[in-house]
Amino acid sequence: MMPDSPSENPFMTGPSTATPSRFEHVPLAVFQSSAEASQAVARDIAALIRSKQAEGRTAVLGLATGSTPLSLYAELVRLHREEGLSFKNVATFNLDEYYPIQPGHPRSYRHFMQAHLFDHVDIEAGNTHVPDGSAPLASVDAHCREYERQIEAAGGIDFQVLGIGRTGHIGFNEPGSARRSRTRRVTLDPLTRRDASGDFGGEENTPRHAITMGVRTILDARRIVLLAWGQHKAEIVRTAAEGPVTPQVTASFLQEHDNVHFVVDRAAAGALTRYRTPWLIGALADQVRS
């Protein structure tokens, strides 16, 4: 249940910058497995929901789709079923949705959320928000503005869950997305479409567009946790955590947030300097220099 060392547990430390023993520009916790990491994040979300409940207030969650958060949602469902965690006071806003797509399409993110979380907990249907991939093209801009307004009306996002794509995207903010971007219709990167093509039975059937919260929308969240599992995410995790802040890797903008944690498993941590070339940092580096 614990990450490598207590000092790496994001849920025990406050916001901090990189320590002298690391190259990362964000607080980053490495867990032995994605299951353990997901349990820790779920516990934190449950604590937020319960503390808001005690105050008679709503907990506003920003949610992600894809393979990464599956174990997190499974754990939240377990907490609901076995430990009485209620979602009656929870409102959710999903990051993104393919465009165009019908909400009932088996690959829509609305369908994903119903299947993996909403249908299994006691959340009010009206409190769940996913961008509408079936909005007519002429009204997409208005729909995006309304999505932003709803987030604001809910009091802003308390806890934003993110995955990271191999392009470095958060939501569908592909390379080139501006830091000030808000919810809007975007064109998907070819790599993102290739990664999604298995779900759609080939690239030719994979949507070319999406509606996504913007970088700015995401950075407005009061707390952000980015999850990444597996070796195929190792390079982009290193780039986002150790590289420069650049619109070419929109996850790098998270370095500018003052309450963000990257939560990764050992495989996704494999390219970090502290694992790949540990002699560059800490005591070993001191020895090499002396």
Q: How far is CA 98 from CA 8, 204, 268, in A?
A: 35, 14, 26
Of 2, 77, 6, 67, residue with least CA distance to 46: 77
CB of 277 to ligand PGA, least distance (A): 26
Closest to ligand PGA by CB, 66 vs 156, is 66
Q: Which of 163, 168, 207, 214 binds ligand PGA (CB under 6 A)?
A: 163
CB of 234 to ligand PGA, least distance (A): 13
Residues 259-278 contacting ligand PGA, CB under 6 A? none
Contact 63, 116 (CB under 8 A): no
For the chain, counts of helices (H) and of strands (E): 9, 10
CB of 164 to ligand PGA, least distance (A): 6
Residue 113 and residue 104: Cα distance in Å, rounded?
Answer: 11
Question: What residue is closest to ligand PGA based on CB?
Answer: 66
CB of 98 to ligand PGA, least distance (A): 12
How do 224-228 and 159-162 pair as beta strands?
parallel
CB of 127 to ligand PGA, least distance (A): 23
Q: How far is CA 249 from CA 162, 201, 214, 217, 286, in A?
A: 14, 28, 14, 16, 31
Residues 166-225 contacting ligand PGA, CB under 6 A? 169
165 touches ligand PGA by CB under 6 A = yes
156 touches ligand PGA by CB under 6 A = no
How do 59-63 and 90-94 pair as beta strands?
parallel
Beta-ladder partners of 99? 209
Q: Which of 157, 164, 188, 219 binds ligand PGA (CB under 6 A)?
A: 164
Closest to ligand PGA by CB, 94 vs 127, is 94
139 touches ligand PGA by CB under 6 A = no
Tokens of 84: 């009485």
Instruction: Write out the catalytic residue numbers.
Output: 174
Q: Annotate each residue in 34-73 with x if it binds ligand PGA (CB under 6 A) or - if it does not, as one string.
A: --------------------------------xxx-----
270: left (phi over 0), alpha (psi -120 to 50) or beta: alpha
Binding residues for ligand PGA, rule: CB under 6 A, are 66-68, 163-165, 169
